[in-house]
């Protein structure tokens, strides 16, 4: 009887092992297909999104040699481009964030550049439009003059901070909204309540309440854009942008994102421009996939809003600018 039960037990074990092994094999096969499809889609999207900066030696003029992703510390300029008011033509860089990545320390820093920062655009780049402007207008005049909107914006940031900008990534508002939705939203711990207009819904108000909540694409865009409410003094725009990027990094590297890569790749190809080539994007993801967003360091540029010639500009203080530059150069291992 004991032997009979033992044989029966072995038979049952064999019988349930077969379907379990089959299921595991099918899941592995499905995962492989997804990864291959995502890689192909990502490559296609990256090829479509690529827009080089047309720089001698394909490097910043502030570097002696090119920085290699995965080997050297690099800097990226993230741009949120507003084109809805101009129907897709000659927009402005509504958001500017400098990101540094160091493969030796696996650390990331973020520095917001206020969109109203006063800069001097050179005649050799913009011709008759030369002179002092807000830094977000560099995108506009670079496009109008034919110099290159992304290139002029990158150079304006380099001149302001005295650091090389190795690469850039520019996304328009529609792409921003769609990417957040494809990620399934981004969870933010809102520090202070406020409201902002929804540019995608007849400027109707979106109300944000204090506490942790998951924002969809339209809500996320309003969250990072608000800058004219009184609450901006205690919960500034730059801080909200950095907070969003940290939360988005967590979401983007999560395993759940794998199943939305095809959709995300399609969005990126249509709404993003970058100087990163497909291989460089994959190296970037591979090198920093394990990045801990809680260790992201943030830096602000000290200064104040001042009226100059009838317009309000952000004027960095000498001390504030020097401190920001020093931290950025340190993160890039530059003397």
285: confidence class by pLDDT, cuts 50, 70, 90: confident
Provide the pLDDT for residue 211: 96
- Sketch out the chain's domains with CATH numbers: 47-331 (3.40.630.190)
Three-class SS of residue 117?
strand
pLDDT in tens, 185-234: 999 999 999 999 998 998 999 999 999 999 999 999 999 888 877 777 78
Q: What's the rounded mean pLDDT across residues 128-132?
A: 95
CA distance 291 to 106: 7
Q: How many CB atoms lie within 10 A of CB 184?
A: 15
DSSP secondary structure string, 197-250?
EETTTTTEEEEE-SEEEEE-HHHHHHHHH--SSGGGGTS-HHHHHHHHHHHHHH
Q: Alpha-carbon distance 170 to 92, whole Å?
A: 11
Which percentage of the chain shows pLDDT scores above 70? 79
The pTM of this model reads 0.77
pLDDT at 24: 59
- Tens digits of residue pLDDT in 45-101: 667 778 889 999 889 999 999 999 989 999 999 998 987 555 556 678 888 999 999
pLDDT value at residue 113: 95
How many of the other CB atoms lie within 10 Å of CB of 262? 16
């Amino acid at each position: 009887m004991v032997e009979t039960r033992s044989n029966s037990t072995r038979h049952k074990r064999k019988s349930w092992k077969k379907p379990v092994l089959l299921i595991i094999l099918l899941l592995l096969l499905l995962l492989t297909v997804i990864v291959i499809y995502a890689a192909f889609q990502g490559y296609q999207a990256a090829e479509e999104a690529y827009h080089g900066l047309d720089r001698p030696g394909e490097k910043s003029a502030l570097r002696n040699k090119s920085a290699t992703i995965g080997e050297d510390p690099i800097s990226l300029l993230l741009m949120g481009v507003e084109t809805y008011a101009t129907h897709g033509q000659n927009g402005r860089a509504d958001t500017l964030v400098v990101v540094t990545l160091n493969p030796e320390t696996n650390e990331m820093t973020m520095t917001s550049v206020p969109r109203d920062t006063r800069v001097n655009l050179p005649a050799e780049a913009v011709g008759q439009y030369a002179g002092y402007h807000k830094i977000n207008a560099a995108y506009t005049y670079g496009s109008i003059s034919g110099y290159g909107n992304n290139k002029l914006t990158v150079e304006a940031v380099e001149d302001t901070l005295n650091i090389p900008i190795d690469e850039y990534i520019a996304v328009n508002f529609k792409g921003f909204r769609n990417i957040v939705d494809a990620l399934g939203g981004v969870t933010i711990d809102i520090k202070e309540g406020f409201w902002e207009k929804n540019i995608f819904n007849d400027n109707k108000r979106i109300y944000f309440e204090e506490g942790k909540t998951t924002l969809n694409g339209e809500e996320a865009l309003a969250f990072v854009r608000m800058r004219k409410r009184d609450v901006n003094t205690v919960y500034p725009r730059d801080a909200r942008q950095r907070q969003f990027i940290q939360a988005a990094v967590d979401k983007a590297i999560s395993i759940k994102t794998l199943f939305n890569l095809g959709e995300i790749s399609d969005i990126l190809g249509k709404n993003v421009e970058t100087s990163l080539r497909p291989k460089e994007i994959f190296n970037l993801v591979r090198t920093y996939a394990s990045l801990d967003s809680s260790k992201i360091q943030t830096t602000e540029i000290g200064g104040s809003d001042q009226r100059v010639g009838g317009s309000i500009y952000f004027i960095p203080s000498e001390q504030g600018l020097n401190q920001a530059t020093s931290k950025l150069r340190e993160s890039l291992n530059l003397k």
